[in-house]
A and B are shown apart, each in its own frame.
Chain A
Amino acid sequence: MMNRLSLSNFFVNLIFIVYSVICVVPLLILLSVSFTNEQSVFQSGYSLIPQDFSLDAYKYILMGNSPIIRAYGITIFVTLVGTLFHLVISSMFAYSLSRPEVKYRNIVSFLVIFCLLFSGGLVPWYILLSKVLHLKDTIFVLIVPYLVSSVNVMILRNFFRTIPESIIESARIDGSGEFNTFLKLVIPLSTPVLATVGLFVAVFYWNDWFTAALLIENSKLYTLQFLLQSIMNNIAFLQGNSLTVKAAAMQPDETARMATCVLAVGPIVITYPFLQKYFVKGLTLGAVKA
């Protein structure tokens, strides 16, 4: 019995080890290529272990007025500001929808949910942002369209509903104003759920290539993901304005591409081990619907 159990356990673990390798190996190959000499990649292709270790790719993409550093700055700004405003607006919105004394909460909640059912589609959205709000080619267009998401408002509203009425009532008796109660009492009680929602929003902003692809033409406002997408087919985006420099020399194109990608995933992969439990918890939050 014991033997059979451990044997099946062995197979279960084997399956997961193989699958985990599938999840992780592509990232390792990426890392390896970024640290390989261009010549060696050219001759023997990509490999899991750098055959001819070299830092050329990183030197190449980080030197001078590199578009990558700029794109990093833009992406970090968009992620931080976007996540912060998303949390502030959504949590206030959700809290007002969670309060039973607010008479129109159900009508407004329906307006929020209806956004999940029907959308005007891409073209009217594009025209709104570019022609009506005139946000095209500004950094705001990367932030503004995603400040509220229906799903997150519903998640937060459902969480706020679970806060015992007696706590809020007692604050009211102590003379606390409604907004003060929200700020000093409700928010601290909700930090776990706010942190989880915030993490997913931050990952969304970090990973967003689509908005920049559609609404950014000014290369100074490229985000990391959009820069990454652009250089896949045209490495010239990486060179900034240094057309004259070392035109003849062998440029580490292939490895520079991979190095850019390493820099783009770096923050997510490095922080993931510390944050993974919030992500795992957060998914089950989302599974609870209106």
Chain B
Amino acid sequence: METITIKPKTKKVRRRVPFFSEIIKNKTFYAMMLPGLLFIIVIYYLPMMGVVIAFQQYNPFKGILGSPWVGFKNFEFLFKSDALFQITFNTIFYNVIFLILGIGLALVFAILIDSNGNRFLSGAYKSILLLPYLLSWVVAEYLLFSFLSVDRGILNQMLHFFGIEPISWYSEPIYWRFILPAAYVWKNVGYFAVIFAAGISGISTEYYEAAKMDGANKFQQAIKITIPMLMPITIILILLQVGKIFYAAFGDWGMFYNLPKDSGILFSATNVIDTYVYRSLKVMGDFGMSSAVGLYQSVVGFVLVLISNFFIRRYDKDSALF
């Protein structure tokens, strides 16, 4: 009798074992995994639970567990104000321009770099193009200021030289609709150009030789060979960017805060979702509003990434995130 009753017990224990036996079998690997795994759980996953703050009237002293729930009040307030439309419009407006200008110009630059023929010069151009990518937006703020400063800037000096009245760049929103895209291109075009250049160097020279035999000139070669061959990587880059279109400058939003020097007069043209969240938190300490906008961004952003990943997957499985 006894043996019979024991048997199912051992079976039960065995069923539970695989997890622990796997951990013990590969204990070194799991030990190596542990710090990183703990890190992403604490730094990425714990805050995901914190999104409930958007439904609270958060009080820093009471904490998440002690703060009163207010349902959708934060969102109600948000959707009634006209700020939401403005920051959403600006975020998408700039990102669409950045996407077209950034990828388009990078494609042109990459083709021109390649057509140069001189390997040393091509390398040098690539390096110089990439330099601004490594500078911070705070430094870019200084560089831009040396051009746009009303009384000392290079641009107004030039205008003065031609007898034109100085322009106060930091108090007219309309100029920033052009300045910001220019700054984005200045900083990021090198990044995309380098990626495209790598793509071009992967194209077999046979295609170009055959085209030359048929009498195609450089321009025709670019249109008929280089661009079609770069289409896969271009489409992937575009889709990846589209997935991030709800994040100002695709996540690198410091430009919207630093370049206009945090100037309130320019908000109509420079305020985006990320700067709004940041200012609500830092300047006003408005946790509820800030996290409501943050959640709005996260949820829409999540849907967009899923959609873009769906298309990437259909187009090229290896480039998909999951």
Contacts and interface: CB of A to CB of B under 8 A. Distances in A.
A218 interface: no
Interface stretch (B6-14, B48-56, B83-91, B92-100): B48-56
A47 B153 CA distance: 8
Contacts of B32: 92-93, 95-96, 179, 182
Contacts of A145: 43
Nearest to A207: B136
Interface stretch (B203-211, B223-231, B288-296): B288-296
Contact of B261 (A102, A147, A232, A258): A232
Contacts of B186: 22-23
A19 interface: yes
- What is the interface of chain B mostly: helix, strand, loop, or mixed? helix
A8 to B, nearest CB: 6
A266 to B, nearest CB: 11
B294 to A, nearest CB: 3
A23 B130 CA distance: 9
B135 A207 contact: yes
B295 A102 contact: no
A283 to B, nearest CB: 5
B64 interface: yes
A105 to B, nearest CB: 8
Contact of A233 (B29, B233, B262): B262
Contacts of B287: 123, 127
A282 to B, nearest CB: 9
Nearest to A127: B50
B194 interface: yes
Residue of B50, B186, B318 with most partner-chain A CB within 10 A: B50
Interface string B14-45: 00000000100010111111011101111111
A120 B51 contact: yes
Interface string A114-138: 0111111111111110011100000
A232 B45 CA distance: 36
Contacts of B291: 121-124
A77 to B, nearest CB: 18
A279 interface: yes
B157 A12 contact: no
A233 B261 contact: yes
Contacts of B302: 117-118
A120 B36 contact: no
B173 to A, nearest CB: 19
B303 to A, nearest CB: 10
Nearest to A148: B39
Contacts of B156: 45
Contact of A89 (B35, B305, B322): B35
A30 interface: yes
A235 interface: no
Nearest to B52: A124
A272 interface: yes
- What is the interface of chain A mostly: helix, strand, loop, or mixed? helix
Given A121-B295, A126-B281, A148-B43, A232 B142 contact: yes
A33 B146 contact: yes
B26 A102 contact: yes
Nearest to A16: B125
A108 interface: yes
Contacts of B163: none
A92 B50 CA distance: 29
Contacts of B141: 229, 232
A258 B142 contact: yes
Nearest to A26: B143
A225 B138 CA distance: 7
Contacts of B48: 118-120, 124
A121 to B, nearest CB: 3
Given A122-B281, A128-B47, A290-B321, A46 B149 contact: yes
Nearest to B26: A102
B145 to A, nearest CB: 8
B258 interface: yes
Contact of A113 (B36, B109, B321): B321
Contacts of A254: 152
A122 B253 CA distance: 13
Contacts of A257: 142
Contacts of B40: 111-112, 115, 148, 150
Interface in B255-298: 258, 261-262, 274, 277-278, 281-282, 287, 290-291, 294-295, 297-298
A110 B309 CA distance: 14
A74 to B, nearest CB: 15
Contacts of B233: 287
Interface stretch (A54-62, A63-71, A208-216, A237-245): A208-216
B147 interface: yes
Interface in B117-161: 117, 121, 123, 125-132, 134-139, 141-147, 149, 151-154, 156-157
B198 interface: yes
A210 B121 CA distance: 36
Interface string B299-321: 00110011001000000001111
Contact of B36 (A93, A122, A179, A261): A93
B116 interface: yes
B298 A104 contact: no
Given A111-B45, A120-B47, A277-B127, 9 more contacts: A16-B125, A45-B151, A115-B45, A117-B305, A123-B281, A128-B47, A209-B136, A272-B127, A272-B131
5 contacts: A97-B33, A115-B44, A119-B44, A207-B134, A283-B130
